[in-house]
């Protein structure tokens, strides 16, 4: 089954994001499972927490997102500390570190050349 993933990312603010997770995890997961989530995972990150939810379709996510328990949980976070977006979040990027670019050998741009000074003739 191909799941549609959504992420709720809460960053540390005045209160740690882990406290928000502890307070709202049970109601969020109950709402998710009873409204079509087929998979979920909590991730603790250095910046906060990420809840990844896998739904069978976008309609399931829409229904979940507008449940009173979910709205209350999202409203309990400072708006500048929460991000809700499609796809997996947190550390879902590539498993290998990025390679640093190597210097390129070859033709380089010429160094800038200063224009010659202007000579101004004066009549005395």
Q: How confident is the model over 97-119, as pLDDT tens digits?
A: 555 566 556 666 777 888 888 88
Strand partners, 41: 52
- For the domain bounded by 4-86, which CATH number is listed? 3.30.70.100
For tokens 């709202």, what's the residue?
24
Domain spans of the chain, in order of start = 4-86
Instruction: Return the pLDDT at 40.
Output: 92
Q: How confident is the model over 40-67, as pLDDT tens digits?
A: 999 999 999 999 999 988 889 999 999 9
Question: How far apart, in whole angstroms, are the C-alpha atoms of residue 59 and residue 14?
Answer: 34
């Amino acid at each position: 089954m191909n799941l549609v993933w959504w992420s709720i990312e809460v960053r540390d603010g005045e209160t740690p994001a882990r406290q928000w997770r502890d307070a709202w995890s049970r109601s969020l997961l109950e709402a998710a499972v009873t409204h079509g989530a087929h998979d979920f995972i909590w991730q603790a990150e250095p910046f906060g927490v990420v809840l990844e939810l896998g739904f069978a379709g976008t309609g399931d996510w829409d229904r979940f997102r507008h449940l009173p328990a979910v709205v209350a949980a999202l409203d309990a976070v400072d708006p500048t500390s929460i991000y809700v977006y499609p796809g997996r979040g947190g550390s879902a990027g590539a498993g290998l570190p990025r390679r640093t670019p190597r210097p390129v050998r070859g033709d380089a741009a010429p160094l800038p050349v200063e224009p010659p000074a202007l000579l101004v003739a004066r009549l005395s």
